[in-house]
Amino acid sequence: MTALPDWMRPPRAEGWFAEDLDRLPEAPRHTELIDGALVFMMFPQRSWHGRVVTALTVALTDQATEGVEIEREMTIRLDARNRPEPDLLVTTLPYDANRTSYAPEDVRLVVEVVSPESAHRDRTVKLLKYANAGIPHYWRIEDEDGSPVVHVYELDEPTATYVPMGIFRDSLRLAVPFEITLDLGKLTPPRRT
């Protein structure tokens, strides 16, 4: 068995805390903290995932109203032991070149584009954690035979749980967190026969 590098050893007996991610320059890109455990992306992302995230970033940025920013692959400091990194987030904070994470109260929407490696976390773990943190909107985008399908959730504040608001296959039109209209077929290149 190969020995672990020193940086992979928790700095304290209680394990890892959210602020520790800012002090791990040796950690792989896209390292998350879930329940005090470091989570690494162990497989390369598929082209489909990258295309959807990029196209969605551009589309949301083009439609965002004043005072709304779109961020890609930035962590959210949910609490002392959880700092997940969604594929996209929508915030009302102004751009800050030195920011390394967001607080949940500054996030209006979280988007996770599901990959085989992240499917369980995106469908269950993160769904619960983002809701418990009070993030008002959550989108989960699944690959359905090469086409993106968007599962939209909205927070029910009294219960701190997400309520399904719809499953969108061809197009999406929403009024929250800002006016959004998407042609979902344009998030991936057309199939060539």
Residue 11 inside a domain? The answer is no
In tens digits, the chain (193 residues) has pLDDT values of 678 788 888 888 888 999 998 888 888 888 888 988 888 876 667 888 999 999 999 999 999 999 999 999 999 999 999 999 999 999 999 999 999 999 999 999 999 999 998 999 999 999 999 999 999 999 999 999 999 999 999 999 999 999 999 999 999 999 999 999 999 999 998 766 6
Residue 3 inside a domain? The answer is no
Residue 64 inside a domain? The answer is yes
Q: How many CA atoms lie within 13 A of 30 on its CB side?
A: 13
Alpha helices in 25-179, H assignment, sequence order:
47-63, 119-120, 126-132
Question: Which of these, 192, 179, 17, 11, lies nearest to 90 by C-alpha position?
Answer: 179
Residue 62 inside a domain? The answer is yes
Residue 132 inside a domain? The answer is yes
- pTM equals 0.90
CA distance 1 to 178: 51
| Total residues belonging to the chain | 193
CA distance 161 to 131: 5
Residue 160 inside a domain? The answer is yes
- Residue 144's SS3 state is strand
Domain of residue 74, CATH code: 3.90.1570.10
Number of structural domains the chain divides into: 1
Residue 150 inside a domain? The answer is yes
CB 77 within 8 A of CB 103: yes
Tell me the residue range of the domain where 32 lies: 18-187
Residue 43 has what pLDDT?
66
Residue 42 has what pLDDT?
64
CA distance 131 to 139: 12
* CA triple 124-163-137, angle to 5 deg: 80
In the structure encoding, which two tokens stand for residue 93, read together?
A: 């904070």
Residue 178 inside a domain? The answer is yes
CB 129 within 8 A of CB 39: no
CB 31 within 8 A of CB 16: no
